[in-house]
Amino acid sequence: QVLSFVIPTQLQRVTHRALHRLFHTRSCLFVALHIALQAAVYGEYTWEVFVYCWEMQFHLLLLLLPYLLLAGNVGCFILCSRADPGVITKSNHSSLVKIYAYDGVLFQKGTVCPVCDMEKPARSKHCSFCGLCVHRFDHHCVWVNNCIGASNAKYFFLYLFSLTAMAAAIATITAALLIQVVLLSNMMQGSYIDEQGQEHAIDILFVIQHLFLTFPRIVFMLGFVILLTLVLGSYCCFNLYLAFTNQTANEWYKSRRYGYSHHLTLQPRDRLVYKHIYSKGIWRNLKEIFKPPTALERKKK
147 counts as catalytic: no
What is the 8-class DSSP label of residue 28?
S
Amino acid in position 4: S
Beta bridge partners of 133: 126
Asked if 134 and 147 touch (Cβ cutoff 8 Å), the reply is yes
DSSP line for 98-109: TTS---SSSS-T
A 10 A CB-CB count for 14 gives 10
Of 53, 116, 127, 141, catalytic: 141
CA 123 to chain centre: 21
Asked if 163 and 151 touch (Cβ cutoff 8 Å), the reply is no
Q: Dihedrals φ, ψ of 260, to 5°?
A: -120, 145
Asked if 52 and 60 touch (Cβ cutoff 8 Å), the reply is no
Q: Dihedrals φ, ψ of 9, to 5°?
A: -65, -45
Amino acid in position 217: R
Sign of CA dihedral 199, 202, 204, 209: positive
Encode burial over 153-164: b for 16+ CB neighbours within 10 A, e otherwise.
bbbbbbbbbbbb
Active centre residues (catalytic): 141
